[in-house]
Structure 1
Amino acid sequence: MADNGEKDWKTALKVAISANLGWGFELFDLVVYLYVATTIAPLFFPSSSKIASLLLFLLTIVIGYFARPLGGIFFGHYGDRIGRKRLWFVSLAGMGIATVSIGFLPTYYQIGILATVLIILLRIVQGFFLAGEWGGGMTLVNEFSPPNLRGLMSGIQQGGAALGLIFAVIANEVALALAPGDAFQTYGWRIMFWFGVVPLAIALAIRWKVGESVEWLNKVANNPEKIPIATVFKKWWKLVIIATIVLFSSGSIYYGIIAYMPTFLGLYTRLSAYQIDNVVLATNLIWLFVSPLTGYLSDVLKVRKLLIAILGFVIGALVYPIIILLATGSYVLSIIAGLVLGFLFAFQYSIFPAWLSENITTNVRYSYIAFSINLGVALSSFAPYIVTFLGLVFSNPVTGIAVFDIITSILGGVVALMSPRDRVGLELH
């Protein structure tokens, strides 16, 4: 950007809000999918065992998310070559169509194995388009942000993930009201996917007004890389490994605890659907509001990688106590656990976009970010499956979650320390 003036700040804020809403919708998809997991797993993956159906259902998350690295390469390639805005818009629209379409799928009992095939295909489509959304948002937000406010704007964007869970809570309440009791298994779960039209329309309307990145126009437009991802692998392969592992670590906490929370509380406690919604809501409201503040704190302190590492270690130390509180089935203790986890996760998560953007050059930024984060998250998408499986192995769901997430959070903290020296407040390359 040319300067740190008011115009740049306002433009950056508009882009950050657009990214927040878009990312909120994208995460709405996954959380809704987990919200209804125990309900619709038997409808698409029938089995004599409820847990077996759930495990097969959770594997579709893994399948869909492994389309994300491919999507990251595709959207990163064209985003670096022909501009950020168009690819960012297309990724959101494609994701939205795939998400809403799940609500119209016939079940296994209606069309047999074709129902299973269709839901897997839609998950793959979702994963492909989602890759461009998150990577594009990180790239654009930081390229529009004044150098001294990248952490703040990144925090606003990343808060969209919490917004996705809040949308899911609202959708769940609407669905339960319109389809109470047994009706939820018949058509109520469909309402939750159809509800996605609301955040999608809002996000698309705001995104349409976002302009092209000045960073890209000034530095890349006239001489783009021929194959951006090849340049990334050749010059910055170590950065790719570091970013992938750190995002895997963070994603494992998200998918293994936060997004998995409705499934965990529904399976292993006696909390009502309303109480579970409130626990999820508390976890994500603090995340939504804390994220910009903690992102800005990284601007003020002028450190990013150290904060990411410290928070990884702290989360690792507190995972077990947090899961213990959730497993008590106490409504109050579950809310407290959710608030603590939401705060710590938001703190670390809010720093990622600025940390990633400042480590790479503009000509390949979209490709680097989109591929690295989506590969990391694709690997972490195993988390709901792994923690459910480990819970069976240890005959204790608390141990299953704790073992996996303690290891991954500490691993992410160690690897974050290996990243390049921070460039907080400096102009982007």
Structure 2
Amino acid sequence: MTTTPATRTDEERTEPPARARTVLIASLIGTTIEWYDFFLFSTAASLVFPKLFFPAGDETVGTLLSFATFAIGFVARPIGGLIFGHLGDRLGRRATLVATMAIAGVATALIGVLPSYAAIGLWAPLLLVALRVLGGIALGGEWGGAVLMAVEYAPPGRRGLWGSSPQIGLGLGLALGTGAFALLGAAMDNQDFLAWGWRIAFLVSIVLVAIGLVVRLRVFETPAFRRIQGGAEISRVPVVDVVREPASRRNLLLGLLARWGEGAAFNTWGVFVLTYAVTTVKMPKVEVLIAVTVGGLVSAAVVPIAGRLADRFGRRAVFATGCAVFGLAVYPAFAGLGTGSFAVVLALLVVTLGLVYGIQSGSESTLFAELFPTRTRYTGMSLVFQGSGIYASGLTPLILTSLLAVAGGSPWLACAFLVLTAVISIVSTVFLRPVVDL
């Protein structure tokens, strides 16, 4: 028999301003660093790994193998969501966030010193996969905890805005990851960049993680979790309760489908576009990296606006609107990419990755947090976000690359797939029924 905690009063929600600021800073810095690590890998999967960590041969095969390695991290993320979601729902949010950041930082730095296929043969891709899995497990636990730190500290009427703060880190992490590669690519020739330059960006992660840990260790446990601790309402096995309770089970299934369009959107405009623009359209690598970096920065700026709109008009309405605009923009965007013009591609990524994806991203975190009661919230929302990541995010570059090959280089079949993901997300979002007990 489970119980649902009563909604907090305004007095119970109020935290000292200094503590609240520390929470927001810790959530933002932590997710920025975690996503920086993640997007370094995704950028390298497009531009570096096919050349260094897989056997020489057909370029398309190398790209597919690299994207398969990229996708493996998304398979690991639900495992991380289950592990750290369980710990976060039973022991608290704070401890898990310290652990996930440390694990992700070590995994990323080790990739920076990993020998190539030419040096150690098959061990190179195997070790790359192992480190990718380790980083995926860490990120699988990171996102839910960072969002809950913000959402469960949020003052009345600002839950959407506060919940969007970790999502700002996604745009900043993307901008830092692609920006680092753009800077290194511009500062050295392609031979030096492939030989050792790209490794610098991965090794820098250690410094960033050290800074992030200092901030996170200053954060207290969330008021919502402290309340259920005091009431002895801790779930013994959170994942079992999520699946067993009808409302949570329904929201889990619908949430997994609702996120499809958002995951596909990001991994189209933030990951796949790098390979498509450089390999198919034949644009210079640095130009594409700059365009993605700018798109990521715009997204970071739009996210809190979307969070505020979610407070005003509702999480579902804002998220569904973002998914609808994504679906409508797919065909015009790929037509524009085909021009190969830097100005056109920059403008397109500002709109698709910056504005449209920013709307989706800024509203989804609080939406998914509100689908589950406090006692199983970390596990439930992690399963939604990380479980859907397998097909919505990890497989998207692989699917688009395959559809591109099937269509003889034409993007229109890939576009049809992306529109379908948007439709699925919109319909599923309409039927979500949030459970708000924050």
1:292 aligns with one of 281, 298, 304: 304
Give the deviation of 1:7 after TM superposition: 4.3
Q: Distance between the aligned counterparts of 1:107 and 1:400, measured in 2?
A: 35
Where does residue 404 of structure 1 map in the other structure? 417
2:74 aligns with one of 57, 60, 65: 65
Deviates more, 1:39-48 or 1:361-370: 39-48
Where does residue 131 of structure 1 map in the other structure? 140
Q: Deviations over 1:368-404 (max 9, x none)?
A: 1112210011222100111111100011352243122
Query: Aligned residue pairs: how many?
Result: 424
Q: Answer yes or no: is the 8 Å Cα contact 2:269–2:349 preserved in 1.
A: no
Q: Distance between the aligned counterparts of 1:404 and 1:357, measured in 2?
A: 28
Change (3 A) 1:10 1:293: farther
Where does residue 34 of structure 2 map in the other structure? 26
Q: Distance between the aligned counterparts of 2:413 and 2:17, measured in 1?
A: 45
Q: Distance between the aligned counterparts of 1:166 and 1:88, measured in 2?
A: 22
2:334 is the alignment partner of 1:327: no
Q: Answer yes or no: is the 8 Å Cα contact 1:220–1:363 preserved in 2.
A: no
Q: Distance between the aligned counterparts of 1:201 and 1:322, measured in 2?
A: 39
Where does residue 122 of structure 2 map in the other structure? 113
2:405 is the alignment partner of 1:395: no
Q: Deviations over 1:62-94 (max 9, x none)?
A: 212111111111101111111110011101110
Give the deviation of 1:10 after TM superposition: 5.1
2:427 aligns with one of 376, 396, 414: 414
Q: TM-score, normalised on structure 1?
A: 0.93
2:114 is the alignment partner of 1:81: no
Where does residue 224 of structure 1 map in the other structure? 234
Q: Answer yes or no: is the 8 Å Cα contact 1:35–1:263 preserved in 2.
A: no
Secondary structure in structure 2 of the residue aligned to 1:98 = helix
Q: Deviations over 1:268-306 (max 9, x none)?
A: 2343333223211221121111111110111122x1112
Q: Deviations over 1:42-79 (max 9, x none)?
A: 32111420110110111012212111111111101111
Change (3 A) 1:421 1:48: closer
Q: Distance between the aligned counterparts of 2:32 and 2:238, measured in 1?
A: 28
Secondary structure in structure 2 of the residue aligned to 1:144 = coil
TM-align CA RMSD:
2.0
2:151 aligns with one of 123, 127, 142: 142
Q: Answer yes or no: is the 8 Å Cα contact 1:11–1:144 preserved in 2.
A: no
Q: Answer yes or no: is the 8 Å Cα contact 2:162–2:307 preserved in 1.
A: yes
Q: Distance between the aligned counterparts of 1:27 and 1:266, measured in 2?
A: 23
Where does residue 364 of structure 1 map in the other structure? 376
Unaligned runs of 5+ in 1: none
Unaligned runs of 5+ in 2: 1-7
2:10 aligns with one of 3, 12, 22: 3
2:242 is the alignment partner of 1:245: no
Percent identity (aligned) = 27
Q: Deviations over 1:83-115 (max 9, x none)?
A: 110011101110111011111111111111111
Q: Answer yes or no: is the 8 Å Cα contact 2:372–2:434 preserved in 1.
A: no
Q: Distance between the aligned counterparts of 2:29 and 2:410, measured in 1?
A: 33
